[in-house]
């Protein structure tokens, strides 16, 4: 397999912006990714394109790329829950790594305020017994939170940690939906959603897009000296292990991390400098520290209190502000995490820069398998310099 490099990255602000169609959001992100490569780059060099989204037209990628003069190539639209954008990145990485194409673009886009989800509730699907009985996403992560408190000595303050940290990080991110620091008291006094989760433990509904151009090493060296390699990548669907075996195990994420880190030749416990991950709910990030392997088993509380997940810590987690504060346009987030990791590995993340970053992990999960209580699909990539 050939080495695959990130050539250009771009994204929009993530916030409620109903005045912009999904195609317009995608156009902005794509143009910024092209500008990131440089004025000498010809967009017509792009050989293949993927777009991940959960809502919107079935020809989303074609609607976006017509605005930048890219046409007459293979284009594919993907719907894969919150991992849609990550799936687009993975498929493009695979095409280039296996020698099918030399350069392409992956786009993630979502306008939740313009979609049928604009009412704020993702409806249950036919036959979703869990959802009808209250095991919604907030309900599931509330159960995880309670289990953390019982088995890891995690306090309510610890459960709120990710939200507090990520809101603080987002103050430094011009793309973030919320750029305001919050306190533990703010979180506990907010509207209750699913005990112990309040609305400030939850990510906002956002609109936005992100794009990443990937290519071979030969092409990358023509345009940049800041080479960022996707060392390994994978998308997985969950197995049929019921969550009551161990609700905190989340085997799909554990398997992704182990498989991709092994393929990339890195140890998640010692080698990862930063992670951008799915943190739709604050307790989700907290229990994922161990699942991803960046924290030793049973040491979540110590990991938090030692400041390991802070910018400047052992492994900065969601220095962008994460879904918690940057926002979560569903299909866009899997591409956006790759853009964020790339910025840090290039040393271009500004005030939120993780010092000396050399290895980063980009992760996103989505959906849920009925009666099994596990995410349906996951994406994970390791990026290195």
Instruction: Considering the candidates 54, 82, 203, 315, report the single residue annotated as catalytic.
Output: 82
For the chain, give the secondary structure using H, E and C: CCCEEEEEEEECCCECCCCCCHHHHHHHHHHHHHHHHCCCCCHHHCCEEEEECCCCCCCHHHHHHCCCCCCCCEEEEECECECHHHHHHHHHHHHHHCCCCCEEEEEEEEEHHHCCCCCCCCCCCCCCHHHHCCCCHHHHHHHHHHHHHHHCCCCHHHHCHHHHHHHHHHCCCCCCCCCCCCCHHHHHHCCEEECCEEHHHECCECEEEEEEEEEEHHHHHHHCCCCEEEEEEEEEECCCCCHHHCCCCCHHHHHHHHHHHHHHCCCCCCCCCEEECCCCEHHHHHHHHHHHCCCCCCCHHHHHHCCCCCCCCCCEECCCCHHHHCCECHHHHHHHHHHHHHHHHHCCCHHHCCCCCCEEEEEEEECCECCCCECCEEEEEEEEC
Residue 235 known to be catalytic: no
Q: Which residues belong to the active site?
A: 82
């Amino acid at each position: 397999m050939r080495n695959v490099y990130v050539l250009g990255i771009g994204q929009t602000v993530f916030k409620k912006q109903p005045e912009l169609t999904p195609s317009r959001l995608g156009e902005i992100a794509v143009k910024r990714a092209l500008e990131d490569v440089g004025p000498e780059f010809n967009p017509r060099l792009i050989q293949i394109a993927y777009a991940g989204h959960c809502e919107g037209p079935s020809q989303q990628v074609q609607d976006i790329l017509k605005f930048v003069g890219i046409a007459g190539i293979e284009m594919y639209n993907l719907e894969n829950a919150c991992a849609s954008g990550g799936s687009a990145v993975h498929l493009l990485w695979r095409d280039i790594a296996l020698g099918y194409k030399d350069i392409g673009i992956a786009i993630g886009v979502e306008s939740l305020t313009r979609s049928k989800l604009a009412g704020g509730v993702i409806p249950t699907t036919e036959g979703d017994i869990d959802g009808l009985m209250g095991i919604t996403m907030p309900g599931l992560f509330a159960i995880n939170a309670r289990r953390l408190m019982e088995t890891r000595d995690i306090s309510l303050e610890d459960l709120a940690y990710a939200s507090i940290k990520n809101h603080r990080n987002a103050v430094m991110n011009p793309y973030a939906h919320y750029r305001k620091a919050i306190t533990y008291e703010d979180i506990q006094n907010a509207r209750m959603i699913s005990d112990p989760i309040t609305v400030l433990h939850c990510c906002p509904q956002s609109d936005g897009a992100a794009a990443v151009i990937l290519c071979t090493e030969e092409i990358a060296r023509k345009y940049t000296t800041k080479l960022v390699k996707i060392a390994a990548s994978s998308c997985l669907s969950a197995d049929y292990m019921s969550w009551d075996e161990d609700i905190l195990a989340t085997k799909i994420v554990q398997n992704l991390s182990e498989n991709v880190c092994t393929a990339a030749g890195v140890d998640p416990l010692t080698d990862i400098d930063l992670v951008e991950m799915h943190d739709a709910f604050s307790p989700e990030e907290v229990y994922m520290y161990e699942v991803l392997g960046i924290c030793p088993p049973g040491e979540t509380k110590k990991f938090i209190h030692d400041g390991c997940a802070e910018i400047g810590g052992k492994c900065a987690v969601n220095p962008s502000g994460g879904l918690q504060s940057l926002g979560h346009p569903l299909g866009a987030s899997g591409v956006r995490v790759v853009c964020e990791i790339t910025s840090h590995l290039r040393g271009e993340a500004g005030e939120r820069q993780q010092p000396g970053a050399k290895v980063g992990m980009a992760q996103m999960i989505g959906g849920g398998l009925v009666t099994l209580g596990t995410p349906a699909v996951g994406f994970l990539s390791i990026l290195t310099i």
